Amino acid sequence: MTMRERLRSIPDLMLAQRLGLMSNSQMDDYGKLLSSFVEQYPSQESAIKTALEGRDLKALTRLLSALRETLIEIHADDLAEECWRRLNSFDEDRPDKIEAYVSFLLSTLTALSIDIQVAFYKEDDEEYVGLGPGDQKKEGEDLKSILAVDDDPYSLDTFKAALKDLKCKIIGATSGLSALGVLNTLKPDLFVLDIEMPGMDGLELAGEIRKRGHGGPIIFITGKSTRDYVQKCMEAGASDFIVKPINPSHALGRIQKFL
């Protein structure tokens, strides 16, 4: 899968026709715009959260307006339009409604930043890791299984609810050690791991999973999008990411690619 194909597959970038018309030099310029967004987003996110917590509507409007301009530049057209529509209603919206929208927007932008970094990280001929020949389930065998690990039981329940319509078995664990215990008797087809956990974190758990010979795709649950952080996740074997707080439709879409 080429860089253009990977970028085209990012749902929040409107690139279906644009990428095919870009020359190599235009593609380089566009790549620089994407890299700039990735670098600047963590500080923008922090400033927006500060304004939101302080209920500083003027600062929030200014920050989101600047962010909207960036979204236009990188062709995240639908997000830019939604941002503009919401900005025009801020004076009329209740504080709780504004908070809910901004929180959802930041979650979506965190996912976008991570998706861009994944696209640039992978080699041109590399695709997402799928189920290998030894992991495929034949017709008539048990359902495919997912091992989901999160120290927050509520997050586990949210994740399970998001996947309720999938024909698969979901096994939950609330620690790295309990997850390793599951692996003594089960070979999951897919792993969904929270990163920030006490004791053994998700990155360490991913290493143990690979040491034990499990080759199923690993999806990390995270709320961070800094470049160093995403790089560590990719080096630990990430095939994809789900962003916290978990959005059911987002989680379902990420999971379905691997089942």
Residues in the chain: 259
What's the predicted TM-score (pTM) here?
Answer: 0.86
pLDDT (average), residues 138-148: 72
Structure token digits, residue 121? 């990280």
Percent residues over pLDDT 70 in the chain: 92
pLDDT value of residue 10: 93
Q: Provide mean pLDDT across the span 129-136.
A: 39
Q: Are strands 238-243 and 190-194 parallel, antiparallel or unpaired?
A: unpaired
Average pLDDT over residues 197-223: 95
Alpha helices in 14-94 (DSSP H): 18-21, 24-53, 57-73, 77-87
Q: What does residue 35 show for φ and ψ, rounded to 5 degrees?
A: -65, -40
Radius of gyration of the chain (CA): 19
Lowest mean pLDDT among 80-94, 111-125, 172-186, 205-219: 111-125
Mean confidence (pLDDT) of the chain: 89
The pLDDT value recorded for residue 33 is: 96
Mean pLDDT of 16-37: 93
Phi/psi region, residue 55 (left: phi>0; alpha: psi -120 to 50; beta: rest), is left
Query: How do residues 62-83 score in pLDDT, each as one tens digit?
Result: 999 999 999 999 999 999 999 9
**DSSP per-residue codes, 118-158:** HHHHS-TT-------GGGPPPTTSPPEEEEEE-S-HHHHHH
Mean pLDDT of 90-107: 90
